[in-house]
Amino acid sequence: MNRLRKNQFLARGFHAIVRGALQRDFHRVLALAPEGLPGPLEGPVLVCLTHSSWWDLMLGEWLSSEVLQWDSYAAMDERQLRRYEFMRHLGVIGVDRASALGARKFLQRGVAVLAGQKRALWLTAQGAMLASDARPIRLYGGIAALARLLPDCRILPVAFQYEFWSERKPEALVAFGESLKPDLEIGRKELTLLLEKRLEETADLLDVARRSRDAARFHVLMQGAAETHPVYDFGRRIAARSRGQQIDLSHGAVVTPPRQDPPSSGRGRF
């Protein structure tokens, strides 16, 4: 049975674990938010999320708790959730897409979590892990069906990507799209098509920014460690300190910028 109330003690402990994992395994968490980062919750929000990695819901948990300061819940495939039963105590509800009964239970649980509440429910509505550049984006209809049961909710498209730039560890990239209020005058299929279009637009904006490799286009939400190897970097710190110098351990700090007019061929060029 899914628990609709979180165990706050376990949730705080889990958040500390997630924060430590992000700091350990990523160089930075960067957010693309043309309209600014989302503000405090004023009512229920359905987060319509791309799904390309195991990290997605972990990153969503950190964003909710530490950056957005939202009271958030999440949905996970019921078969997977049975492998991680403790996550039910963290506000994760199961989705059994194999039966009509499972779909009805998901809608009931979603309404019970969100109705009349200032809460967010994070949904990987693609239903499977797919390449971040897979197009067109197709969504299951559950998110639209749930939105139609919550007339005061908003839907926020969010895209994630993970990319190696100039450091040993990858960048975690997130894009917040423009939220929308579901139009109850249109049917579930039409609303699903609208959500697919809005999420694909958000993912495409993130993809363009990712390929630019320009961190100035992003908000830096977390700065992890820049390192080559702990022993080697320790020696570099000691050597710099002995000379009274500061040292930037990041690889990108000393990369020669490219010429502004690179030739089409590398011949005759050093």
Question: What does the pLDDT read at residue 1?
Answer: 41
Over residues 93-130, the pLDDT tens digits come to 999 988 899 999 999 999 999 999 999 999 999 999 99
Asked if the model's pLDDT at residue 157 lies above 50, the reply is yes
Give the fold, CATH level 3, of 8-222: Glycerol-3-phosphate (1)-acyltransferase (3.40.1130)
DSSP assignment of 203-216, as one string? HHHHHHHHHHT-GG
Residues 244, 248: Cα–Cα separation, whole Å: 14
Give 246's contacts (C-beta < 8 A, 6+ positions apart): 240
Over residues 192-243, the pLDDT tens digits come to 999 999 999 999 999 999 999 999 999 999 998 766 545 545 555 566 566 7
Three-state DSSP at 114 gives helix
Residues 176, 34: Cα–Cα separation, whole Å: 8
- Parts of the chain belonging to CATH 3.40.1130.10: 8-222
Residues 20, 87: Cα–Cα separation, whole Å: 18
Question: What does the pLDDT read at residue 98?
Answer: 87
